[in-house]
Structure 1
């Protein structure tokens, strides 16, 4: 008989997992299901619903530390820290618009499970770089605490960071502690119009190598609702500093065209769209998230355009390519072949129906030694495969 467990605390979560272990019944781990269509379909009839694990445990703005339950909506978290003039600097993206759902439904547990990050990753890192501690239940039905309310964690394994990006296949987080940062006083975006993809990569790399402290570097090619190509570089901080760095960066990039300024309100809207994949979110065509060296991003897109119709844009100074297959075909073989030809990288299928996500590797296949290590890690945390089986790799 299929069952849904909805624990209210760590003890009840542990009891549910222990039951699953005893009965050898795999569990699908969910929160608000905002990312359920990401990854391979889970091979489990029973559901562990963490949406009841919601709420702030402790918030210490002066210490830049926030402890909360894993099912707390990320929108609630961002509103709370914003009320104290702070932010989650890793800028977690919202997959809702891309997956055909309403925005703002994700939870902090889902953010960590997917190790999300937005355009600021080039400056502040991803979710795993901001987690300080975690209480979780392993696939053995054992509760463990790791990390703490300090930035530096030097004793033993850094388990919270290891669990970030594991998509709920190693342990079930129940409470997490993250660090927050002061919100910038203001922001502005320097925009260069009409650059080719190659020129845009050059501009973004020059900007990242300058002293301007760029916190976002993206390129939107022409063809977006009739708009021309736009290369955008975000500057944040104190108003006087932003002014100085904007002028300085304009001089660095003077040879690539005339720079225009996008002021704070419009800048925030632009970067929110870039973060949440709005430029290619419409429709149902397959979408790939491809991570490569920034200098080869344009080369990769050009090679794929020669094989099939694509729509793409660049983030992380060209190191992150969001690519839509306009003919509705996955093209997984071509995508991964071209990545290898361009020096290597990672491709994740982030939008496709369940049957297609079951038929191909959704995540980048790992080299044999790394795959063996991942399998051993899974066995240590979840020896009989109770948690989200098959979510990342078939049969694991």
Structure 2
């Protein structure tokens, strides 16, 4: 049975890593376990951050918070909701899509750089990260960054850890910036566009001064699986507006008029808007209880529909688009088709792929993350050697 260690303090975590370094034991770092689909290798210890729990400091006036890495995300969001503040990057919850359980943690959010629909205008999780405390592969406690936005000492070091999936260090504490919750929201829906037409409509919307905070395209194959089928018939291109009620009303009228040349336009109001974008964020159409391969693909916005069109000529694939088309959620019918997918990604100008879900034996046999170029791989190896010289930390996370 794989040993699972849950230290209750940063000092205890550092001692555990120090012992692992002395004995050259491999360590898998785990947060809430919501994205861990790979089996833990035999002889590997699991070091969980769940015992490092609690909000350390919250300054609503400065719009910053510091929390220990194992603090449940719901605890953080509940505290923010009381002050009408939020995480700008909308961290996604993929438990339903991946068929996992566990409790999302704030450390796991930053370790995976989990970022939702607002990412293309507000930045990713790493862009909200101001400072961190962590235990490196020598068992040393390191602090980088600070608790206010003016303090940038070590800020780039903190951002290196965001998205590192536990391969560089154990995050023990994170400090991050916040934004006010918008007073209201609305979504403009343009119906019956094909993927290429939707890409053009979204590009037009993003070029306008109406401050679109979400742009997604939901083809007819998935449209009925959002908001209980409440969207109009046909494919739905959805554009979110947020802010003061009077401002949203004016901008919605302007955006709707501009979109009318692309197709039939309708509008959904605040409550349904919030539900819709949560479902887009969490890849809700693919929370189908199956192990059919699910890819998360990041490409240039105009290239998303080109990629899917090319794939459809050769294999069975279902897809929808976020980030103005730059984030593609792809569900394959049977085989992950990793080589085919990556060949077409190269053909449309490059991008990044992550295989989020598949049968265990398929995950074990597939390179789940986009292979790095030789230059990037060499740089990554130097970074790894600096943080974790004995290569103790083995990443088994996806997403």
Give the TM-score range, shorter chain. Answer: over 0.9
Secondary structure, counterpart of 1:235 in structure 2: strand
Quickly say closer, same or farther: Cα 1:72–1:391, change in 2 above 3 A. closer
Divergent runs of 4+, >4 A: 40-44, 389-392
Give the Cα–Cα distance (whole angstroms) in 1 for the partners of residues 205 and 76 of structure 2: 32
Match of 2:314 among 289, 296, 307: 307
Secondary structure, counterpart of 2:147 in structure 1: coil
> What is the correspondence of 1:164-203 to structure 2 with a 5 Å cutoff?
164-203=162-201
Any gaps of 5 or more consecutive residues in structure 1? none
With the length of structure 2 as denominator, give the TM-score of the two structures: 0.94
Give the Cα–Cα distance (whole angstroms) in 2 for the partners of residues 281 and 391 of structure 1: 19
In the alignment, does 2:242 pair up with 1:236? Answer: yes
Aligned to 2:80: 81
Secondary structure, counterpart of 1:63 in structure 2: coil
What per-residue deviation string (whole Å, max 9, x for no partner) do you get for residues 257-285 of structure 1? 23211100001110000000002221220
Give the Cα–Cα distance (whole angstroms) in 2 for the partners of residues 298 and 389 of structure 1: 31
> What is the correspondence of 1:17-96 to structure 2 with a 5 Å cutoff?
17-37=17-37, 45-96=44-95
Aligned to 2:207: 209
Give the Cα–Cα distance (whole angstroms) in 2 for the partners of residues 216 and 268 of structure 1: 11
What per-residue deviation string (whole Å, max 9, x for no partner) do you get for residues 29-68 of structure 1? 1122111127x86675211121111111111111101111
Deviates more, 1:11-20 or 1:28-37: 28-37
Match of 1:126 among 124, 127, 133: 124
Give the Cα–Cα distance (whole angstroms) in 2 for the partners of residues 352 and 307 of structure 1: 20
Secondary structure, counterpart of 1:54 in structure 2: coil
Any gaps of 5 or more consecutive residues in structure 2? 226-232
Question: Alignment length, in residue pairs?
Answer: 389
Aligned to 1:3: 3
Deviates more, 1:73-82 or 1:86-95: 73-82
What is the Cα deviation at residue 132 of structure 1? 0.8
With the length of structure 1 as denominator, give the TM-score of the two structures: 0.94
Any conservation in 1 of the 2:292–2:359 contact (CA below 8 Å)? Answer: no
Quickly say closer, same or farther: Cα 1:390–1:237, change in 2 above 3 A. closer
> What is the correspondence of 1:1-396 to structure 2 with a 5 Å cutoff?
2-37=2-37, 45-102=44-101, 105-156=103-154, 158-224=156-222, 225=224, 228-282=234-288, 283-326=290-333, 328-388=334-394
Quickly say closer, same or farther: Cα 1:182–1:156, change in 2 above 3 A. closer
Task: Indicate the RMSD between aligned Cα atoms, in angstroms.
Answer: 1.7
What is the Cα deviation at residue 354 of structure 1? 3.0
Give the Cα–Cα distance (whole angstroms) in 2 for the partners of residues 42 and 233 of structure 1: 44
